[in-house]
Structure 1
Amino acid sequence: MSHFTWVALFGGMGMFLNPIKKRIARTAQNKYILIRLKQRRLYLIVNEKVFFSFKIAIGKKSTPTPKGQFKIIDKALNPGGAFGTRWMRFYKGYGIHGTNNPFSIGYAITNGCVRMYNKDIERLFPLVPVGTKVIITD
């Protein structure tokens, strides 16, 4: 089964951001996502400083979250179902997404995707343009 049902087109969320966050959203070269699997944390790094830190769920032992360096390939608003309110694909069928099961956050329970609370991915989503680097490490 695919890690997502469909990819919807992402629209102009930038109009809802304050001016500082608008600048951050437009400049992918000085920011990236760092995922620390053992910590079960996702960090948005801007100018080499932690801008946001979020608790996440990761892949279980039989379907681990891939490690390495990737980029956000595409994004979807309200993909529905198990993917919650936002989806950001970084490799094949793997993505960073919301959830319809908030009690799973903090556990190794997914099929390899990185799962976040919907409120957290809704904060992250408009700040991460397609092309943003994603680093996943132990």
Structure 2
Amino acid sequence: MFYQQPFYFSRPVYSITINRSLHKLTLYRDSIVFKNYPVAVGKPSTPTPVGTFRIVNRAINPGGPFGARWLGLNAPNCDYGIHGTNNPSSIGKDVSNGCIRMFNEQVIELSNLVSIGTVVKII
């Protein structure tokens, strides 16, 4: 008799790298580039922190300038995150208070893929 091992689906592992100087967020799926998104980052007086962090909280429609989604990072004071924007003309610029801004439709897409604990490297 032929015995076949059960087939298990494994969830893909996502990670994110944000390049501040290129204003680009790269989403990796199982260590392979999956998507690239344009972003806005912190202005010189309130720069986006550099380092390796994790997504620690999330919100749908957080309101105000945070657009359609909030993905909070365990960066200093937990005051930083990846979020949408109510000012889409800011994408591609150094204008935020340190957070990473994305177009609302793109942050929704990203939020649907990543989970709490996803590694976010900011360079």
Trace 1:6-85 onto structure 2 (pairs within 5 A): 26-27=11-12, 30-85=13-68
- Cα distance per residue 1:45-72 (max 9 Å; x no partner): 1122111100000000000000000000
**When you count helix as a share of all residues, which structure comes out higher?**
1
Separation of aligned partners in 1, 2:20 and 2:45: 15
Q: Identify unmatched segments of 5+ residues in structure 2.
A: 1-8
Deviant stretches of 4+, over 4 Å: none
Per the TM alignment, residue 78 of structure 1 is displaced from its structure 2 partner at its CA by 0.4
Name the TM-score, length of structure 2 as normaliser. 0.87
Separation of aligned partners in 2, 1:86 and 1:31: 18
Q: Give RMSD over aligned pairs.
A: 1.3
Q: Identify unmatched segments of 5+ residues in structure 1.
A: 1-22
Correspondence for 2:91 among 96, 105, 129: 105
- Cα distance per residue 1:79-118 (max 9 Å; x no partner): 0110000000012110000000000000000000000000
Separation of aligned partners in 2, 1:31 and 1:129: 8
Q: Secondary structure of 1:72's match?
A: strand
Query: Aligned partner of 1:93: which letter?
Result: D
Separation of aligned partners in 2, 1:112 and 1:136: 11
Name the TM-score, length of structure 1 as normaliser. 0.78
Q: Secondary structure of 2:39's match?
A: strand
Task: Decide which structure has the larger Cα Rg and report it.
Answer: 2
